[in-house]
A and B are shown apart, each in its own frame.
Chain A
């Protein structure tokens, strides 16, 4: 399974791998233009494939006020 962490929402979900980043975002219900997807110190592009057993973080980039 892929572990998907969304620290700002304090949420996590697991998805069967492998999956493209774009599909992970769709499963998480997140608009691709509003987030960074990171893996450690790496930024992932939306077409990249995430393997079973890996972890990714979805970081929102939207600020208000």
Chain B
């Protein structure tokens, strides 16, 4: 198969959803354009932004950091060491090597030192690991960004992640989640920093192919805590659809973004009507740590409190 763009070199990546196939050089052009278009479409980033890129050691976040640097953004990487024996150490090593090869050093938050390593925090708080992980990560993403002068937090969520999340939100009619699902979450004053997902137009396979062809050494093993993650079930279902009907994933998510306003007007759940519209209401401050929150105490402090008094299951 020849590259559909240059029509000279052999194709290395075939993309049925785009009716296309590219050689490595042309694929880099394609991928870069997709990310640039994703950023432009919703004004995710401005040239003067200081971008905090949240890196896990996996393909998506390292590819995101790599391409944002290539596009000329002022970036630093933040690694949250989850305290998962073996896995977290290997992830940290990959990130350190990646950063060093680009003259950078990641900012590291060690959850063992913070008293909330994920496996122990989940046991003590009697919550699911992925839920605890989400709470802790969101807290530190914002705290590090706010205290170190970053204007925006960027995460490596890709098209597959967002389509799977959308499918889950639709299946359970999570109206408030649907309302907030977007590649751009504006900063809301009160210390909440803007959050963006610049890879929302590119698939997981495209991101992995870009990482592989660029020689980015990422962690290929899956987080041992996420084996039963429901997002994997939604991804599996969407993969089946994608295989039979290429482009389904993209049409689902991009269609949602285009028709979101109209669609949400059809939903009449009290959940949606009661949810504060994004950006319309400023958060208060946590009574314990001072972080922005819509409750009296932020989710992270409530978790820490549970971890402190919780008995191991």
Contacts and interface: CB of A to CB of B under 8 A. Distances in A.
Nearest to B58: A63
Which interface class (under 10, 10 to 19, 20 to 34, 35 or more) fits A? 20 to 34
A31 B203 CA distance: 15
A38 interface: yes
What secondary structure prevails in chain B residues at the interface with A?
A: helix
B59 A62 contact: no
Contacts of B212: 36, 38, 43, 59
Nearest to B160: A62
Interface in A18-54: 31-36, 38, 41-48
B204 A43 contact: no
B278 interface: no
A62 B133 CA distance: 19
A8 B235 contact: no
A65 B225 contact: yes
Contacts of A63: 58-60, 204, 222-223, 226
A36 B209 contact: yes
Contacts of A48: 1
Interface residues of B, number: 37
Contact of A62 (B225, B235, B243): B235
A16 interface: no
B12 interface: yes
B11 interface: yes
Q: Which of A32, A42, A45, A59 has the most CB of B within 10 A?
A: A45
A62 B232 contact: yes
Contact of A61 (B133, B205, B243): B205
A47 B12 CA distance: 11
Interface string B210-229: 00110100001111011101
Given A34-B239, A61-B208, A65-B229, A8 B222 contact: yes
10 contacts: A33-B203, A33-B205, A34-B205, A34-B239, A45-B11, A45-B13, A47-B14, A61-B208, A65-B130, A65-B231
